[in-house]
Amino acid sequence: MSAEKLFFGTAGVPKSAKASNSPAGIERVRELGLDCMELEFVQGVRMSEKGAGNVLETSRKENIALSVHAPYYINLNSPEEEKLQASMERIYQAARIGSLCGAESIVLHAAFYQKSNKQAVYENVSKALGELAEQLQAENIPAVLRPETMGKRTQFGTLEEVLALSEEIEGVMPCLDFSHIHAREGKENSYPEFTAILSKVEETLGKDGLANMHMHISGIEYNRNGEKRHLVLKESDFNYPELLKALKEFEVKGFAICESPNLEEDALLLKKTYMEL
């Protein structure tokens, strides 16, 4: 499913919601005039099928699009079979429950390099995601697995890595965290660099890649090892107006999820800035 436009929303329940559960979050996102929300299963998939039904019902009623962030405790490069299987099970459960909520995109942090060489890590991640994508397809779970571009150099997830996986495996697409891409090397923070990234997406995945994007945007603090923590956009050096200009130029559609500490304030800032372009 391609989005008909670029949706803006929050990573999790807005801070100003009446309650901290997902249906209250969805209702608040609608009140704020935002378009989407990412369900944060980052500490584990703790939602029942009944709970997922309530989320689906609320999202349809409020007309809010949803995505999912899978648990953080994932390493598809683990040398221990038990840990690898547990990682795959967490992604599977995030996709299964997420799809019952009506979410299609399942964002995940794929792996750590540890002491392996990068090609070996890529092969391990590719094998695991390929198996998962096949399982989801066999069970008719309409989920797209989205390995995220990561902000620390110890983490698997360069732009090139996630694009290669997306090109290679049916049912895998990228999650581009522009703040992470910037923090990883301290570059990628200008209009020409943003357009270069979007050109790479188009070269690798065609126009469909741009019509079905999933992005994370926030302020970010970083050092020579990469990401340290997320910041409010205006307290960071992240050049979000130029990014939004590039997204408009390339007619990007999909989800732009704000991960700033002030969630809805920066999500609204992004949407307002984009609408004014």
What's the burial of 82, exposed, middle or buried (CB within 10 Å: 0-12/13-18/19+)?
Answer: exposed
Burial of 124 per CB tally in 10 Å (0-12, 13-18, 19+)? buried
In the chain, domain spans: 4-274
Return the closest-CA partner of residue 160 out of 131, 208, 190, 201: 201
What is the amino acid identity at position 106? Answer: I
Beta-strand pair 219-223/226-231: antiparallel
Give me the pLDDT at residue 3, please: 72
May I ask the CATH architecture of the domain 4-274?
Answer: Alpha-Beta Barrel (3.20)
Q: What is the pLDDT of residue 125?
A: 98
pLDDT at res. 2: 55
CB–CB of 238/220 below 8 Å?
A: yes
pLDDT of residue 1: 44
Place of tokens 């944060």: 40
**What's residue 4's pLDDT?**
85
The first and second tokens of residue 172, run together, are 């895998």
The structure tokens listed for 54 are 């309530």
Concatenate the DSSP letters of all residues of 199-234 into one string. Answer: HHHHHHHHHHHHHTEEEEE-EEEEETTEEEEEE-GG
Listed in order, strand segments (DSSP E) in 12-117 are 36-40, 65-69, 105-108
The series of mean pLDDT values per 10 residues for the chain, 277 residues long, is 84 98 98 98 98 98 98 97 98 98 98 96 98 98 98 97 98 98 97 98 97 98 97 98 98 98 98 98
